Each structure stands twice: as structure tokens, then as C-alpha cells.
Amino acid sequence: WLKVGILMSMYTLSPASPPLQSPALLARSSKSGPIREEAPFYNLTFVTWNLAMCSPTVKDCAFLKECAEDSSILVLGFQEVEDLKPRRSEGRKSRLLRRRLQTVLSSTHSAVSMTTHGSTQLIVYVRKDQMRLIRREEIQTWAITCGVGNVVQNKGALGIAMKVNGESLVCITAHLAAHQHKVKARNEDYKRIVKQSEKILLNSLSGNSRARARDPRCTGLFGADCVVFGGDLNYRLDLSREEVGLCLGADSELGYSDLCDYDQLTKARASGAAFALFQEGPVLFPPTFKFDKGTDNYDSSKKRRVPAWTDRILYTPSEAAELVDYRSVAQARRSDHRPVVATFKIGKTQVKRS
């Protein structure tokens, strides 16, 4: 059994900076009518990446710099950073990952939170000139174990709750049960993560906030304005390797949307077995698992695993969050998974009476 380890690494926040955009825009329907006040919007990018215990190169991480250029906040969820053998201190591959991130991100962004649980990590970066968006003292993090007996940390989740420019945001990265036939186990992992996260967050809320979160009229999960849930969720395609290969072939008239009809996560959402409160952007990229490492070829080993979209990012419907980009990164080939990126426009228009 492994000891739960959560490493927190907080960095000093810079002084308040100028607004993200131009001042709020006002549109008056009449002198005495309602005023629509559009608060400044900002971009948040969530990345999930199963590293398969392969330390990424600077070239592999180059896409993160591109993500950072247009994002005020980067939320990075990594799975299988290290093996699970007991350690007295941070592992070599974890240290190397931090150095890679420092190389590609340090010129524009600073880390405000880093948590580790088993081989999973959740790191949050904020643009240096927009540190005012987040108050460090309001950040809350937690870990949930879903491995054998809910003790082994090879599977589980990390979460972070924070106020971002006045909006309450929860981000969770998870690594759910593996293998084609373990759909029920994945669904149960999801339910445990949501239940335990809710318990942790409700216990930390003030009386008014706790009442709001429990109010049936509040549609937001955990009482948050938006929840983003991403990771190696491990849902597979209920097809054979040959069938998927035919669908992905150059001569096939079928698209990814046709394959998604056989996707276990899509089925789980539709039946309400898991992620019923979440939505996902259109899946317009190839299956993200399982590749021969360093290539664009799907598993050529004797197991010949069926390609699948194991790596996903979902979010709760919200007036405060709009999905603007959802894609995989084909150029990062070091692992047998491809990273997946989702970018959100965060903010909402408030209506005030004059």
C-alpha cells in the first residue's frame, strides 16, 4: 500500500495588473431600462495527458507554449508521471516534467498550485500579468483514491476549487479503471470521485454557500459556476480492432461521429450511468490511445488494443463558460496517449436595473 502524498507548491503572486480587456461594455435599452454589463472574459485551457511514464521532451511540450499564448489560466492534468514504487521524495521523472514546464511556460506564466497523488498530477498556471484573477488563499485542493480497495493510488483523482475573476470554478483530473470490459468500474470510479469531492467541498463552505450548493434550484455541480472534468477516463469503443481500422481507413466514408456511437462514455452519459450532468464538445480528432510510442501507428503488439478516445475533457453547462476549442495534439508522440486540449471562454453578462 502506498502513502497518500499531496505536494503543494505555491508561488508568490504579483501585484494587481490592468484589466484583461477593455472596460466593461454597457448597452442600455432605455434610460430607465435594464443595463447589460459584460464583464471582461478570459480564456482557460485544460490539458489532459497520460505520459505513460515517459518523460516528455521540450519538443513534445511545445504545444503547451502555444496554449499559453492565448490563455490566462492553464490547468494541466497528468497521469502516469511515475511508477508507483514508494519514495521518500519527488521522483526523477516528476522533477524532469517540472523542468520541462518551466522551460516552456516560465516566460509568461507562473504556477499557483501543484498537487500530486500517486502517479497523477494537477498543476495550475496563471499569466504573470493577470495574477489578479486568482486569490491564492481561496484555492482548495484534494485527492481521491480509486485503486484496489480505494487504497492503491494507481487510479483516482485530484481536484482544485478556486474563484476566478469572481466565478467559482472546479477542475478535476482523473485516471479511471482500465481495460475494455471495466465499464461498470469506471462508472463507479466517477460516482466515488463526485461524491467525495462534493463532501469535501460542502464541508469547507460557509453556511450561505453550503445552503446554495444544496438548494435543488442550483443546477451547478458542487454549487460551482462551472466544473471541468478531464483525464484518462479509459472509456473504450465497443468494436473490434478490425472494425475500428476500417472506419479510420483513408477510403472509409464514416467519420468520427459514427465511431462515437460505439463509445462507452457516450453511452454512459446517455443512460445516466456516469457524467450525466456533463457535456462534451464534438470529438473531431482521432482516437488518442493506444499508439506505438514515438509513432503515429496504433498498437502493433500482440495485444493489438482497439484504438479509443480514452482521454477526454467534459464540463457542466454554464452561462459562465463557453467551449471554444477541443482537440488532440498529434505532434506529442512520446507517450502511447495523445494529449487532449479544451479551451473555454470564462465570464458572463450581468443584467442590472437602473
32-88 residue pLDDT tens: 455 545 557 899 999 999 999 999 999 999 999 999 999 999 999 999 999 988 888
Nearest to 177 by CA among 52, 81, 303, 310: 310
Whose CA is closest to 245, among 334, 329, 308, 331? 308
Q: 103: part of which helix (H) or strand (E)?
A: helix 92-105
Burial of residue 180 (number of CB atoms within 10 Å: 0-12, 13-18, 19+): middle
Asked if 230 and 190 count as a contact pair (C-beta separation under 8 A), the reply is no
Residues 134-149: tens digit of each pLDDT: 988 999 999 999 999 9
pLDDT at 349: 55
Task: Judge whether residue 352 has pLDDT over 80.
Answer: no
What is the predicted pLDDT for the residue at 255?
A: 81
DSSP secondary structure code for residue 149 in this structure: G
Residues in CB range of 171: below 8 A, 6 or more apart: 46, 75, 77, 122, 124, 159, 160, 227, 228, 229, 230
The Cα angle at residue 191 between residues 335 and 114, in degrees rounded to 5: 50
Q: Are 277 and 221 in contact (CB under 8 A)?
A: yes
Q: Which residues contact 137 (CB under 8 A, 6 or more apart)?
A: none
Residue 13 scores a pLDDT above 70: no
What is the predicted pLDDT for the residue at 26? 36
Query: Is the pLDDT assigned to residue 281 strictly greater than 60?
Result: yes
- Quick one: 195 exposed, middle or buried, by C-beta within 10 A (0-12, 13-18, 19+)? exposed
On whether the CB atoms of residues 158 and 122 are closer than 8 A, the answer is yes
Condensed to tens digits (0 to 9), the pLDDT of residues 172-229 reads 999 999 999 999 999 999 999 999 999 999 887 544 454 455 544 344 688 899 999 9
- Which position has the higher pLDDT, 35 or 269? 269
Q: What is the mean pLDDT of the chain?
A: 86
Pairing label, strands 73-79, 109-117: unpaired
